[in-house]
Amino acid sequence: MLRQAMLALSKSRRAERLVTTSPLTAGVVERYVAGDVAAVVRDLTRGGLLVTVAHLGEEVAGESRAEEAVRGYLALLDLLPTGADVSVKLTALGLRLSQQLALGHAAEICAAAASRGMTVTLDAEEHDTVPGLHAVHAALRREHPDVGVVVQAYLPDSLDRCEKLGGARVRLCKGAYTAPGAYKRPIDIDRSFVRCLKVLMAGTAYPMVATHDPRLLRIASTLAVLEGRDQSGYELQMLYGVRPGEQARQAQLGARMRVYVPYGDEWYPYLVRRLAERPANLAFFLRSLVSR
């Protein structure tokens, strides 16, 4: 219930206006969203962590905004070190306007990233965009075989998706939105996550295990050992600001540990999705609403 309400709030323009103008939210924002992205990335990589950087932005209403998003990504690439990955939301590149448009924009970002020794991963968003996401990913892979894609374990067809993604870089996560028919009980989502993990670890994909869940992290490393993958054969991914101590610990143990670093002014929907996952941080957020 609370999660549903929070996800509805993530789309509310009124709440967005209240929250983004409140000084009280600054502490929560700073914790999850990079202010100076180049400095944050420098610190993380010095600590032995890998990064995937997301220029925050959600669905765009017109082609010029999609072009603006592309320019944002091209400028971002100039700030990042070789080996970095960038995470891209296709709706910010115009997916809901036209699949072809989003494909063209994503291809431009992939080409620019490749010329700098970087990679691109396509984030998964709301359920109605998932078929378009995979169609664009399949088309991009012909030219850019290392472009990654996200599978959300809360979707019942996630296992099927994983089976079809042989050879690809695949980020597996639980799923941050809602979808009709999606698994809702945490236990069902976790079971689906493990079924997907088994397929990815046993197959030819490069699994990117995106979770903060200690139990799933243990299962991932056990499955990797059972399938004969060493630590270079998969990676772990966590969000900037979430379990930073564990991120550092994993890197020290030799894991390929990648941190998802979001930055940019359009942080409101991203932040509310994070709060929906972690009600412990809600107090800050609610105080910023009522203190107006």
- Could you list the active site residues? 123, 171
Q: Please pick, from the candidates 65, 134, 198, 212, the single residue that binds ligand FAD as defined by CB under 6 A.
A: 212
Query: Considering only residues 95, 130, 239, 257, which one is a binding residue for ligand FAD as defined by CB under 6 A?
Result: 239
Of residues 254 through 273, those in contact with ligand FAD by CB under 6 A are 260
175 among the known binding-site residues?
A: yes
- Of 91 and 211, which has the nearer Cβ to ligand FAD? 211
Nearest-angstrom CA–CA distance, 157 and 233? 25
- Residue 212 marked as a ligand binder: yes
Angle value at C-alpha 116, between 130 and 31, nearest 5 degrees = 60
Measure the CA–CA gap between 22 and 29, rounded to whole angstroms.
11
Which residues have C-beta within 8 Å of that of residue 71, sequence separation ≥ 6? none
Nearest to 151 by CA among 139, 164, 142: 164
Alpha-carbon gap, residue 87 to 17, rounded angstroms = 26
Strand partners, 171: 150, 208
Among 18, 74, 97, 242, binds ligand FAD (CB under 6 A): 242
Q: How far is the CB of 54 from ligand FAD (least distance, A)?
A: 9
Q: How far is the CB of 31 from ligand FAD (least distance, A)?
A: 10
Q: What's the min distance (Å) between Cβ of 243 and ligand FAD? A: 5
Select from 35-43, 222-230, 233-241, 262-270 the region that touches ligand FAD (CB under 6 A).
Answer: 233-241
- Judged by CB, which is closer to ligand FAD: 94, or 175? 175
Contact 164, 131 (CB under 8 A): no
> How many angstroms separate the CA atoms of 248 and 197, rounded?
23
Which CB atom, from 57 or from 175, has the smaller least distance to ligand FAD?
Answer: 175
Taking the complex as a whole, the smallest distance from the CB of residue 156 to ligand FAD amounts, in Å, to 15
Query: Which residue stretch of 66-74, 90-98, 234-242, 264-272 sits at the interface with ligand FAD (rule: CB under 6 A)?
Result: 234-242
Q: How far is the CB of 64 from ligand FAD (least distance, A)?
A: 25
Instruction: Give the residue ranges of DSSP H helices in 13-60.
Output: 13-20, 26-32, 37-46
Q: Judge whether 91 is annotated as a binding position.
A: no
Q: Which stretch binds ligand FAD (CB under 6 A): 38-46, 75-83, 94-102, 208-216?
A: 208-216
Residue of 94, 100, 104, 7 whose CA lies nearest to 59:
94
> Per the structure block, which two tokens stand in for 203?
């197959």
Half-sphere exposure of 62 (CA within 13 A, CB side): 2
Site for ligand FAD contains 213 (CB under 6 A)? yes
211 appears as a binding residue in the annotation = yes
Binding ligand FAD by CB under 6 A: which of 210, 223, 261, 271? Answer: 210
176 marked as binding residue: yes
Best CA proximity match to 142, nearest among 168, 181, 177, 109: 168
Backbone angles phi, psi at 201, to 5 degrees: -65, -35
Residues found near ligand FAD in the complex (CB under 6 A): 123-124, 150, 152, 173-177, 210-214, 237-239, 242-243, 260, 277-278
Residues annotated in the binding site for FAD, as ranges? Answer: 152, 174-176, 211-212
Instruction: Cite the annotated binding site for substrate by residue number.
Output: 89, 273-274
